[in-house]
Structure 1
Amino acid sequence: MKTPYACQQAGKQLLFVLALLLANHIAQSQGSRAVTQDIQQHFIPLSGSPEILPPAFLQKLEGKRLVGLGEATHGTAEFEQMFSLLARSLVLERGFNVVILAEANFYDTRALNDYVVYGKGNAETAVRHIRHSPTLLVDDEEARKLAEWIRAHNRTKVVEDRVWMLGIDAMALGGGAYNALKLCRERNIPLPPATHQYLSELASLSADMYENYARTLPLDTALARLAPLLRAVQHQKYKPDLNEEQQWLLQSVMTLEKAISFLYDHHVKHEWSKQQFRDEAMLANIKWVLERRPAAKMIIYGHNGHMGKEVGYQFFNGYTHLGGLLHSTYGKDFYAICTEAHAGSFWAGKDNPTSSIAQNKKKIGLAIGQAVDAPAGLLELNATPALTAYFNSPLYMTFGNLTGTNYSPASTVNLASAFDALLFVRESTPKVPVKPKSALKRFSFNLVMQPAQLAQLAEKESISVSVQSGHTPLGTSLSGEGAYVSLMFLDSQNQIVGYQATWLTADMKLHEQHYPLPPGSARMMLTVTGSNVAELHLADLQVNGIKIDLSKMKYYGEGYDTSIAAGRIVLKERG
């Protein structure tokens, strides 16, 4: 039993603890009020549908050469609209002349740049060929509108002063491999058969085959097959007769090694290496642009996770992304803006429903949404010491991607060190894919050989394919233009155990190729696939000397009319 004195002492201790808690609560409340007041004082509101950002907004970007805008989700319409508004404003008011879609593949966007600079092709087709990851981007109306606006703006400029628009990513290997083959063909650069074969396989792979294909070929073997290409082209950049298109093709080659390394991280290891091959390739492509336009000023658009000068989202801790590389390379010339939404929903990918913007009492969007009434606006994260301290404290922020994964809200750390400013939207609405007006020019003719047929062919322990073929290219800047013949080998569980492909030349002639038969093969799919040809002819297809009935091949594609008979296939561009 406690004595009266002990009880008295315990009571004093309790009062002391309560007093500390009360003082801490008062301090937190005062700090919270100070943060709210600072947000209200320094928030630059946006409302309606302005053509140009307000001067107070643009003043924050004075003297910057690279402005990065991150998006908290890939599927929020308002973030894309804000990017378009920012791009137009910087082009018109600050002389920016390069617009970069960071997560669109460099390989795929030469046609986009040719459209905005030279008026070649059309915006819809160029945008529809852009890939994010290896999959085709959705029919993105906002990107198309921005491309058309840049094209209209460029009409009033001499070529040297026109605005560029391109991607800098290196995730989809098909375009890079295609560009490598095209460069070698145009420059008469010889390649070992294994290297040419490997590039042909990469160029013809569909997106859903990346993982299985990578599992059939160790990374060391893949890089060894690539090495002769890199040695063969290393002096090409110094050639005075290298034209503008070939410079682009060459840069595609120079990032292939990083792209392949990332492929194995992403599709085989299912993890990221501490060395960020993908973001290093992005930086290499930005440097390539600046080598050609030393006075360039660029606006760069990608996910928040790529744009921070330091780690913003806590689960990226330990990784260096594009924003960090830009900050270490260009210092104060780089200005980083992140985005955040108070509430709403976002589109989570082509095969996924929309996801809601999740809430948390320490979510940044909630704090800003309660402090201001505007539907959108900009806030400098380091405008006051109180704001710096607040945004560098442990908080939460929206995070969403195109795989259906919703990490929102994700924890943040040192956000005011990672970003200079935050672009806020009150209500996130899902971006909506728009039905295209024209078809993509893509085709595939497939024939599956069952175990009994393959067993008959396998007596020679190799597969020989010969075909009379020829095609007429459309002459576009789109990567992948042309045709390939490929063999995909499956085991009894329908897992890929081997894949071989050969690029078919345009002139009508007999193409013949020999392939080893992978162990464990139970079925084989023979495919003739390609895109962006005006016309294609196939005849006299034989496998190990056995003539194939071409009428048995199944056609998949869009934008073409086909005529298929037992001995001949004719494919012609529709319209």
Structure 2
Amino acid sequence: MKRMIVRMTLPLLIVCLAFSSFSASARAASEEKYWDHWIERHAQPLDASNASNKDLRFLKKVLKGKRIVQLGETTHGAGEINATKVRMIKYLHEELGYDVLAFESGFPDTNASYLNMDQLTPKSTMKNSIYAVWHTEDVVELFDYMKEQKEKGDPLILTGFDIQSMKNSFNVAATQWVKAVDPEKAELLSQSENDFSTLVTDSNTFDEFSQKKEKLVKNYQKLIKFTKTHASELKENLPKEPKAYEMFMHSLQLRIDVMETYMLEEMKEKLEEYPENIEDFSFFMRDRMMAEQFQWVADTLYPKKKIIVWGHNYHLRKQNTKMIKDWVQLNGPNMGDYLPERLKKQTYTIGIYAYSGASLDSSDNKTVKPVTSPPPSGSLEALLKAADRPAVFVDFLHTKNKKGTSWMYTPRTALYWGYMEEQMILKEQYDGVIWLEHITPSVIIK
């Protein structure tokens, strides 16, 4: 009986779905003539030359009730994207009370660098805390600003949510702190950090990896026990920040968690042993663990602070599993998928895209990747050209579905890194977007 029902209803269901898809496409096509008019009237111009920041005042209304603002980017390697975000971050801090900046960079590195900010130049703080793709003059300006604000007593606190780390950043700072209490434990920490950074790359077999990992896990457990039993002495020697001890403890535990999960999977994949489920690949595991780290930052480290997030569109957009086609063509879960609903409700997510120009490839920070220009017809990049401005912001969250806005609610192409086509319902992935007419490759500083 069930098979008969399936045989009878399946053709009808296919026809209905096809008709529904055709109807949606036909409706969108009939409304295209209204899109340009709506964009001309409602896209908010952004003017970097406006020293008074009047052009950003609309954010007060758009972000009302939002504790977290996520600033994405289609590519990591574009100067204009960096500059746009830096300018917006300053405004969010000064005018709207956002006091924490969470970077897509290692939690131990960013926090150790922030704790030592008083002893470092802004450039050194930047290079010790965030990934090299952002080591640019535009971003140095942000670190200049953070140091100034800290000295004024109105700090913009730096943190991170990534599980990947740079080799020596946390090691150098943390070893100094521990050495003042116990030089032997400082040596254990330093050696453990060195071995941690090469655990996967220097292991040739799974047994070799497992033996090294077990030894390292025991080392970090010893260090955690030491940190607990010598808490008062360590607090005396840690930088005088309210959360310094908690940051240090969390960083040590994170090393264990990363070895037991992410690095374990990395090693298996290195040996060409792949998991059955897509979410168990290290690529997607990273996003899951970034979501866990950010949740800890938002709920435990800074539960009463308003937070700005800096990362790639791919990680920050709301739900990659609802994409029609992502750049990987797998539509696996991203950081946005893994965040709890209560945090999502507190968040306003902004994607950033570009119409023309070029950016750096983050694999080497040297190769220049041109933006596909002109972009595909009907794409996000092509549509927002109608605003006839060099930079605009468009709010999706507070915009209803009507003739002039149906492009937000219907399948739309947008370009990952400026040249790889993705397809999505924009409203499902972002609360708003920033569109830049032209970008140029970042200039990495030494």
The verdict on a shared fold, with TM-score over 0.5 as the criterion, is: yes
Alignment match, 1:425:
436
Counterpart-to-counterpart distance in 1, 2:39 and 2:195: 54
3-state SS of paired residue (1:172): coil
Relative distance call for 1:306 and 1:333 in structure 2 (3 A) is same
Alignment match, 1:360:
376
Alignment match, 2:30:
30
Residues 1:379 and 2:375 are matched in the alignment? no
Residues 1:41 and 2:41 are matched in the alignment? yes
- Structure 1 residue 92: Cα displacement: 0.7
Alignment match, 1:213:
202
Alignment match, 1:153:
149
Contact 1:279/1:322 (8 A) holds in 2: yes
Which of 279, 287, 294 is residue 303 of structure 2 equivalent to?
294
Q: Which structure 2 segments of 5+ residues have no match?
A: 1-21, 239-243
Relative distance call for 1:389 and 1:25 in structure 2 (3 A) is closer
Where in structure 2 are the equivalents of 1:312-323 lying within 5 Å?
A: 312=323, 314=326, 315=328, 317-323=330-336
Counterpart-to-counterpart distance in 2, 1:251 and 1:367: 45
Residue-by-residue CA offset, 1:129-149 (whole Å, 9 max, x unaligned): 2353xxx44632122111111
Residues 1:248 and 2:237 are matched in the alignment? no
Alignment match, 2:316:
307
Counterpart-to-counterpart distance in 2, 1:292 and 1:431: 32
Sequence identity of aligned pairs in percent? 17
Relative distance call for 1:152 and 1:173 in structure 2 (3 A) is closer
Alignment match, 1:167:
160
Alignment match, 1:333:
346
Alignment match, 2:90:
88
Alignment match, 1:113:
114
Which of 399, 418, 422 is residue 411 of structure 1 equivalent to?
422
Alignment match, 1:202:
196
Alignment match, 1:346:
359
Contact 1:176/1:253 (8 A) holds in 2: no
Relative distance call for 1:153 and 1:416 in structure 2 (3 A) is same
Counterpart-to-counterpart distance in 1, 2:409 and 2:252: 40
User: What letter matches 2:167 in structure 1?
Assistant: G
Q: Which has the higher contact order (CA 8 A, sep 6+)?
A: 2
RMSD: 3.6
Contact 1:307/1:324 (8 A) holds in 2: no
Residues 1:274 and 2:283 are matched in the alignment? no
TM-score by length of 1: 0.60
Counterpart-to-counterpart distance in 2, 1:197 and 1:385: 58
Greater share of strand: 1
Residue-by-residue CA offset, 1:465-519 (whole Å, 9 max, x unaligned): xxxxxxxxxxxxxxxxxxxxxxxxxxxxxxxxxxxxxxxxxxxxxxxxxxxxxxx
Relative distance call for 1:249 and 1:277 in structure 2 (3 A) is farther
Alignment match, 2:79:
77
TM-score by length of 2: 0.75
The number of aligned residues is 392
3-state SS of paired residue (2:143): helix
Counterpart-to-counterpart distance in 1, 2:24 and 2:125: 58
Counterpart-to-counterpart distance in 2, 1:373 and 1:75: 25
Contact 2:125/2:143 (8 A) holds in 1: no
Counterpart-to-counterpart distance in 1, 2:205 and 2:176: 26
Counterpart-to-counterpart distance in 1, 2:148 and 2:176: 31
Counterpart-to-counterpart distance in 2, 1:73 and 1:329: 28
Higher-Rg structure is: 1
Query: Structure 1 stretch 31-40 or stretch 218-227: which is displaced more?
Result: 218-227
Residues 1:225 and 2:205 are matched in the alignment? no
Greater share of helix: 2
Contact 2:112/2:170 (8 A) holds in 1: no
